[in-house]
Amino acid sequence: MRRSLYLLYVIGILCFISPGLRAQEENQWKQAPEFYFLGYLDVFYAYDFNQPESNSRQPFLYNHNRHNEFNINHGLIGFEVLHDKYRVSLSLHTGTYPIDNYSNEPGLLKNIYEAYIGLSLNRKNNLWLDAGVFTSHIGFENPISIDNWT
């Protein structure tokens, strides 16, 4: 009984890993990747008639919150590399939004908007494993003003 159970486990494991042992097509990695560059700049001027004592208008907001100053709310630059089998993205940002919103982050981590790498896990390229720093969408607020519903 114990021997047949052991044999059943071995057969199950072999069935599970055998699809990964097939030979790959020769040309699937020869496809040239696509490169994309992106940039975004959000500048603003705001004047608060309540005349706040500091240059900060509302300390609980992270967007457009400086009084009587021209500022960059969010400046973003980055690139993406897309292939059927892998993808890479790196975007850096600066401005009053990351300064205020990421004030507790250490050092240069404040300037990372997005940084990830992904690998396709199957032949149809519809199952991916991605790891890294991703953009966050919490509710309707977004650092990209054109996408910000609030």
Task: Summarize the confidence of residues 43-68 as an average pLDDT.
Answer: 81
The pLDDT, as a whole number, for residue 94 is 93
Quick one: how far is CA 74 from the chain centroid? Answer: 16
Give the Cα-Cα-Cα angle 15, 17, 18 (nearest 5 degrees): 65
Q: What does the alpha-carbon distance between residue 54 and residue 56 come to, in Å, rounded to a whole number? A: 5
**Could you state, in order of their start, the residue ranges of all structural domains in the chain?**
31-147
Q: What does the alpha-carbon distance between residue 90 and residue 24 come to, in Å, rounded to a whole number? A: 29
Between 90 and 27, name the one with better pLDDT. 90
The pLDDT, as a whole number, for residue 24 is 52
The pLDDT, as a whole number, for residue 18 is 46
Confidence bin at 78 (pLDDT 50/70/90): very high
Q: What does the alpha-carbon distance between residue 102 and residue 118 come to, in Å, rounded to a whole number? A: 25
The pLDDT, as a whole number, for residue 58 is 75
Spell out the long-range contacts of 67-70 with Cβ–Cβ below 8 A and sequence spacing 24 or more.
69/45, 70/43, 70/44, 70/45
- Residue 34 confidence (pLDDT) above 70: yes
pLDDT in tens, 80-133: 999 999 999 999 999 988 888 888 888 888 899 999 999 999 988 899 999 999
Among 22-26, 53-57, 82-86, 109-113, the minimum mean pLDDT is found in: 22-26
Among 1-5, 37-41, 79-83, 111-115, the minimum mean pLDDT is found in: 1-5
Confidence bin at 31 (pLDDT 50/70/90): confident
